[in-house]
Structure 1
Amino acid sequence: MEKEQNKKTSSLNVLAIAGLQPYQKKTDEEYMNEKQMLHFKKILETWKNQLTIEINHTLLYIQDKSTNFPDPIDRAAQEEEFSLELRNRDRSRKLIKKIQETLKKIKDKDFGYCNSCAVEIGIRRLEARPTANLCIDCKTLAEIREKQMAG
Structure 2
Amino acid sequence: MATKASSSTEVTQENALENVMTKPAQAVLSEKELLAMPEADYMNEAQLAFFKHRLQEIERELLQNAGETTEHLRETPFVPDPADRATIEEEHALELRTRDRERKLLKKVQQALASIESGEYGWCEETGEPIGVARLLARPTATLSLEAQQRRELRQKLYGD
Cross-structure match for 1:35: 46
Question: Offset at 1:141?
Answer: 1.1
CA contact (8 A) 2:52 2:116 kept: yes
Cross-structure match for 2:157: 147
Gaps of 5+ in 2: 1-26
- Please show how residues 1-151 of structure 1 align to structure 2 within 5 Å: 21-22=30-31, 23-27=34-38, 29-64=40-75, 66-150=76-160
Cross-structure match for 2:19: none
Instruction: Give aligned-pair identity as a percent.
Output: 39
In structure 2, relative to structure 1, the CA distance for the partners of 1:121 and 1:28 (3 Å cut) is closer
**TM-score (norm. length: structure 1):** 0.79
**TM-score (norm. length: structure 2):** 0.75
Q: Which moved more, 1:54-63 or 1:42-51?
A: 54-63
CA distance in structure 2 between the partners assigned to 1:73 and 1:32 by the alignment: 55
CA RMSD of aligned residues (A): 1.9
In structure 2, relative to structure 1, the CA distance for the partners of 1:98 and 1:68 (3 Å cut) is same
* 1:136 counterpart letter in structure 2: L
CA distance in structure 1 between the partners assigned to 2:102 and 2:138 by the alignment: 17
Cross-structure match for 1:9: none
SS in structure 1 of the partner of residue 35 of structure 2:
coil
Question: Offset at 1:28?
Answer: 6.2
In structure 2, relative to structure 1, the CA distance for the partners of 1:82 and 1:104 (3 Å cut) is same
Q: Deviations over 1:56-86 (max 9, x none)?
A: 112222233x122222222121111101101
* 2:102 counterpart letter in structure 1: S
Residue-pair matches, total: 132
Cross-structure match for 2:14: none
Gaps of 5+ in 1: 1-17
In structure 2, relative to structure 1, the CA distance for the partners of 1:70 and 1:147 (3 Å cut) is same
SS in structure 1 of the partner of residue 124 of structure 2:
coil
CA distance in structure 1 between the partners assigned to 2:57 and 2:81 by the alignment: 42
* 2:141 counterpart letter in structure 1: T
Question: Offset at 1:36?
Answer: 0.8
Structure with higher RCO (Cα < 8 A, 6+ apart): 1
* 2:30 counterpart letter in structure 1: Q
